[in-house]
Structure 1
């Protein structure tokens, strides 16, 4: 299965702006800019979208772990806080992602929950790709 997201950018880095969309059109023409990424400007930014995607991926991975264990959670709520730092030698860099999850699952003990959460973190496709991924590029100047 392949899914895609797209972005269009107009202008210079600091004065320009752009839009981000997804193939499904669940996100369509969301505004982003230098200000929304590095200050408190209006719009979204790649790190926020990555955080939402990672939170969703982890929640599904944790649900899968519960299912494999013969358990059914009532609710899984996850937040992924993505930290973007400006490094002196490398420019803007995502330095960490902190997952916080709250699960309502009656009858599940803490030890089992911790085991399932750890497996979900290791098995989540986005957790895996954020560790190391092959990134390829085809670039065309028109």
Structure 2
């Protein structure tokens, strides 16, 4: 199965602007620009914000799957992802993704939860995408 999205960019790098849309219509002409990506403007999204959303959702699902495999059903898994874009010798790159998760899992021991979280971190498809070139940190708490 292939997920699809498209982007349109018009103009120069600093003065130009773009829109991002997904085939499902969940995003439709979402704005992005140099100012949103590099200057903190709040008038649109960034590729890194979309990566953060993808990783947070992917990890949460993977953690749910790992817990389910251990016979546990989470009440709630809440994950935030912070994606760091930094200038490197080879140009700009995503250098770090910090995942912060809290989960309510009735009947889970700390050991079971820690194992499930570690396995979800390495098994999530978005984690695998970045595994060999980006530092992925995990702070997971059982509540």
TM > 0.5: yes
Aligned to 1:31, the other structure's residue is in SS state strand
Instruction: Look up the match of 1:136.
Output: none
- Say if 2:60 is the partner of 1:52: no
Aligned to 1:82, the other structure's residue is in SS state strand
Deviation at 1:23, TM superposition (A): 1.0
Higher relative contact order (CA 8 A, sep 6+): 2
In 2, Cα distance between equivalents of 1:98 and 1:43:
22
How many residue pairs align between the two structures?
A: 132
Aligned to 1:43, the other structure's residue is in SS state coil
Instruction: Look up the match of 2:5.
Output: 5
Instruction: Look up the match of 1:81.
Output: 82
TM-score normalized by structure 1?
Answer: 0.89
- Say if 2:41 is the partner of 1:65: no
Please tell me the root mean square deviation across aligned C-alpha atoms, in Å.
Answer: 1.2
Superimposed CA distance per residue, residues 27-74 of structure 1 (whole angstroms, 9 cap, x where no aligned partner): 111000000000121100000000000000000000001111111000
In 1, Cα distance between equivalents of 2:44 and 2:55:
19
Instruction: Look up the match of 2:25.
Output: 25
Q: What are the ranges of 5 or more consecutive residues in structure 2 without an aligned counterpart?
A: 134-143
In 2, Cα distance between equivalents of 1:31 and 1:124:
28
* Runs of 4 or more above 2 Å deviation: none
In terms of fraction of residues, the more strand-rich structure is 2
Deviation at 1:132, TM superposition (A): 5.0
In 2, Cα distance between equivalents of 1:102 and 1:12:
42
In 2, Cα distance between equivalents of 1:7 and 1:132:
26
Question: What pairs with 1:35-50 in structure 2 (closer than 5 Å)?
Answer: 35-41=35-41, 42-50=43-51
Superimposed CA distance per residue, residues 120-140 of structure 1 (whole angstroms, 9 cap, x where no aligned partner): 11110110112259xxxxxxx
Q: Which moved more, 1:43-52 or 1:90-99?
A: 90-99
Deviation at 1:94, TM superposition (A): 0.7
